[in-house]
Amino acid sequence: MLIYKILRASEWATLRSDGHSAGAPVDIADGFVHFSTAAQLPGTLAKHFADEDDLTLLACDAQALGDDLRWEPSRGGDLFPHLYRTFEMTDIRWTRAITRGADGHETGPLE
């Protein structure tokens, strides 16, 4: 199963240059890296990135993240994937730009 992380341009640049990251400011504050499933991604975009452009979508294999990935209740009691370690470039399966269309953010096809 793929899970997804959204990064702003500066956050994506840091991850690429350093090879690892503690995540976005909210991740650092919460002590884990927030991810979303394909079904959760539209809500995450609407809630946290509604007015933002220049976003990158990163896909990771949930199983490959091992025991450092925990599924915990969040929005509406839904279980969200949280990574309790730094996020590594080697964790990423693929990336793509998130564009804006007439109906808002467009991520392209997801798992």
Residue 35 DSSP SS3 = coil
The answer as to whether 73 is a domain residue is: yes
Please indicate, yes or no, if residue 110 is contained in any of the structural domains: no
Domain count, the chain: 1
Mapping DSSP to helix (H, G, I), strand (E, B) and coil, where does residue 65 land? helix
Give me the sign of the Cα torsion angle 73, 14, 62, 66: negative
Tens digit of each residue's pLDDT (9 = 90 or more) over 80-99: 999 999 999 999 999 999 99
Q: Half-sphere exposure (CA, 13 Å, Cβ side) for 95?
A: 17
Which pLDDT does position 47 carry in this prediction? 93
- Whether residue 109 lies inside any domain: the answer is no
Closest CA to 62 of 99, 42, 24, 33: 33
Closest CA to 55 of 7, 11, 21, 94: 7
Kindly state whether residue 105 falls inside one of the protein's structural domains. no
Distant-in-sequence, close-in-space partners of 110: CB < 8 Å, separation ≥ 6: 2, 4, 38, 41, 59
**What are the residue ranges in the chain where pLDDT is below 70?**
none
CATH of the domain at 36: 3.20.170.20
The pLDDT assigned to 104 comes to 87
> 83 is in which domain, residue-wise?
2-99
**pTM above threshold 0.85:** yes
28-37 residue pLDDT tens = 999 999 999 9
**Spatial distance between the Cα atoms of 13 and 33, rounded to a whole number of angstroms:** 17
